[in-house]
Amino acid sequence: MSVPALDLQEVGVRVAGGPVLLHDITWQVRPGEQWALLGPNGAGKSTLLSLAGAVRHPTTGTADVLGRRLGRTDMRELREQVGVVDPALRMPARMSVLDVVLTGATGTVLPLPERYTAADHERARMLLDRLGMTPLADREIGACSHGERARTRLARALVPDPPLLLLDEPATGLDLPSRATLLATLDDVAAVHPDLAIVLVSHHLEELPATTSHALLLRAGQIVAVGAADEVLTDEPLSQCFGLPLVVRREHGRWSVVARRD
């Protein structure tokens, strides 16, 4: 893509008769960039992700997703071009891992075999192999661990080969080994798909892949800091974002943070 995967200009979102959820957000995500979207509860992260996923319109300003202006394009058709990893995705327990992954081709919860092409089947199996899930292809998803389900959701989101991938707290509920496996997998995805734009929402720096290149910090619906990860994911911006004096460290490509004790 020559245009930004995501281009928000002075965007605001207000609930009818209610509060303002986002204030004057200007943000660009370009192909090949891996963004972290961080902030405390109620900061507006989910609202911002809903704009990026073409789920809602802005109240003010303009929002372009994959070069198409929200409010002037078919939102349902646009959503088919955006990969979404959401831990809340319902996966019927008796469905096989492969069948869950294939639903990514149609963006449905239940399988629609008559709509899958040979290319869909080939890509689904290729992604399972790349994510180390081939031995589990025929296992019922209900019998899979939290980590295996997380990788299944990721494979499902990648089936349509989207130019934009949104991950909404993908490490939620994972234990330490499963989280480490997922983060390594996300690093591999970024390496294999160098033009893929990625936005990952999290509360925790420890859940960010090493390939994270940029970050946006959000508090009370407003941008606290935005830019290169090495500049944004530092003590002062994060302390301002979370309202707590913090000390940030980065070792072996991973970030960690602790509260400063004076």
The domain ranges of the chain are 1-81+163-233, 90-161
Residues 248 and 234 sit within 8 Å (Cβ to Cβ): yes
For 108, 205, 227, 242, the CA distances from 256, given in Å and listed in that order, are 36, 6, 19, 14
Q: What is the pLDDT of residues 107-116, one digit of tens each?
A: 888 888 888 9
Q: Which pLDDT value is given to residue 1?
A: 56
Question: 1-81+163-233 in CATH: which number?
Answer: 3.40.50.300
Mean pLDDT of the chain: 92
Q: Which pLDDT value is given to residue 234?
A: 96
Q: What is the pLDDT of residues 226-249, one digit of tens each?
A: 999 999 999 999 999 999 999 999
Burial class of residue 92 in the structure, from the number of CB atoms within 10 Å of its CB (0-12 exposed, 13-18 middle, 19+ buried): middle
**Helix H or strand E segment including 225:** strand 222-228
pLDDT classification of 136: cutoffs 50, 70, 90: very high
Interacting residues of 101 by C-beta distance below 8 A, sequence separation 6+: 124, 127, 128, 152, 155, 156, 159
Q: What is the pLDDT of residues 39-48, one digit of tens each?
A: 999 999 999 9
**Looking at the predicted structure, is the pLDDT value of residue 37 above 90?**
yes
**Looking at the predicted structure, is the pLDDT value of residue 221 above 80?**
yes
**Looking at the predicted structure, is the pLDDT value of residue 251 above 80?**
yes
Residues in the chain: 262
Pairwise CA distance, residues 129 & 139, whole Å = 14
**Looking at the predicted structure, is the pLDDT value of residue 106 above 90?**
no
